[in-house]
Amino acid sequence: MSELTIKSTGQMISTETIDGDIATLNLGPTHPATHGIFQNILKVDGERILSAEPTIGYIHRAFEKLAERRPYNQITPITDRLNYCSSPINNIGWHMTVEKLAGIEVPKRVDYMRVIVMELARIADHLVCNSVIGVDTGALTGFTYMFQEREKIYELYEEICGARLTTNVGRIGGFERDFSPTFHAKLEKFLAEFPDNFEEFDRLLTRNRIFMDRVIGAGPITAKRALEYSFSGPNLRAAGVDYDVRVMNPYASYQDFDFDIPVGKDGDTYDRFVVRQEEIRQSVRIIRQALEKMPKGDFHANVPEFYLPPKEEVYRSMESLIYHFKIVMGETAIPAGEVYHAVEGGNGELGYYLVSDGGRTPYRLHFRRPCFIYYQAYPEMIVDSVLSDAILTMSSMNVIAGELDA
């Protein structure tokens, strides 16, 4: 290994050169292999990367500023657009944050329904990431098969909320409607068929000699560095740290389910791939348990101040009309206070720091976006490797532009 030095700007640079003929290469902002809009200015000597300087913010939409003008229920569609590969987790995380602030207790059934939706979202998120790692190594086949499976998950979302990508699923207090019989039928079919199709994909790549040679050792990070960089989610677990918000600070009754947290060893592209593969299997396990143990009860909490009444009630009863009007106009009273609530998003600890002064909108809302925090380690992970490994490292870190730039 050559020596790495740290420049005054904190940037890592490699001192080893091949022939001293250094070129500057713009990787992005609109390079197809970056799967999103971000730029990296690379200094390369042949294929070897000497330094990298990421520029982000190309799709910054000022969500934190927007949230300061919107009533609480109108912020859910903003959260859709963070990590848009697993929007339901963002939506439900936000609902739970507001419920925590307002002291709303939801029925157990809502928790189990949420777990099912969030684990479906996790499967969809990891499928995209892992199949794209395949694409970036030149194996397109698995991608086409796994996107069919993702399509089935999107059809399940459609059954729940009518939307597919930006789901805006659920409400503060629960869900807008109960799971329909069609949803249950489709979910049963999915659970019956998906594991076999998924294992077929797994057989295409996980023990494939060509794939393993390609990804083992690409873009590694040690557990110590990953913790110093505040990594979370599959990327941290691939480095060998078993931190998962679902286990550490259970929310939505995750403590009721029996599942394993896979960890890796080297924190390289292969470990990140394998950890995500195993998490998909565990998610299927959680969904099965949730379906089996689904308690009877209501699909929303009894909180008329936050939860829209049925439309026919609005025409008939005065209270419903008043609540409907107040919710739609964003006039619901909410206690002052500040909360931090975290959920395990597709990429790691997705946190909401919410300060309320009792007004109709948040006084301050900060999203702790896992992508934003771990992407800063990217230069360190690719310096001294080759350009093709840099592409793989980026796709295996699952950097989602929407979450990165908020």
Partner 1 sequence: MDNQQVLAHIASLLGTEPNATVDKYGMLNVQLDATTLISVVEGLKNEHQFIYLTDICAAHYPDRVGSEYEVIYHLHNLVANQRVRLKVALPETQISLPTLTGLYAGANWMERETFDFYGVNFEGHPDLRRILNMDDMDYHPLRKQYGLEDETRTDKNDTFFGR
Pairing of strands 48-55, 337-344: unpaired
The helix (H) or strand (E) run that includes residue 81 is none
Question: Of 285 and 360, which has the nearer Cβ to partner 1?
Answer: 360
- DSSP for 158-176 reads HHHHS-SSS---SBTTB-S
Rounded least distance, CB 181 to partner 1, Å: 38
Pairing of strands 23-27, 337-344: unpaired
Rounded least distance, CB 365 to partner 1, Å: 10
Gap between the Cα atoms of 18 and 49, Å rounded: 11
State the residues that interact with partner 1 by CB under 8 A.
8-11, 56-57, 60, 62, 64-66, 68-69, 100, 225, 227-231, 241, 243, 248-249, 329, 331, 337-340, 342, 349, 351, 353, 355, 360, 363-364, 366, 368, 372-377, 405-406
CB atoms within 10 A of CB 325: 11
Gap between the Cα atoms of 147 and 85, Å rounded: 12
Rounded least distance, CB 10 to partner 1, Å: 4
Question: Of 47 and 331, which has the nearer Cβ to partner 1?
Answer: 331
Question: Of 108 and 366, which has the nearer Cβ to partner 1?
Answer: 366
Rounded least distance, CB 251 to partner 1, Å: 13
Question: Of 213 and 331, which has the nearer Cβ to partner 1?
Answer: 331
Reduced to 3 states (helix: H, G, I; strand: E, B; else coil), residue 368 is: strand
Backbone angles phi, psi at 266, to 5 degrees: -100, -15
Question: Of 205 and 404, which has the nearer Cβ to partner 1?
Answer: 404
Rounded least distance, CB 18 to partner 1, Å: 28
Rounded least distance, CB 368 to partner 1, Å: 4
Cβ neighbors of 224 (< 8 A, separation 6 or more) are none
- DSSP for 89-157 reads HHHHHHHHHHHHHHTPPPPHHHHHHHHHHHHHHHHHHHHHHHHHHHHHTT-HHHHHHHHHHHHHHHHHH
124 and 154 Cβ atoms separated by less than 8 Å: yes
Question: Of 156 and 399, which has the nearer Cβ to partner 1?
Answer: 399
Rounded least distance, CB 364 to partner 1, Å: 5
Question: Of 183 and 375, which has the nearer Cβ to partner 1?
Answer: 375
Residue 84: what residue type? Y
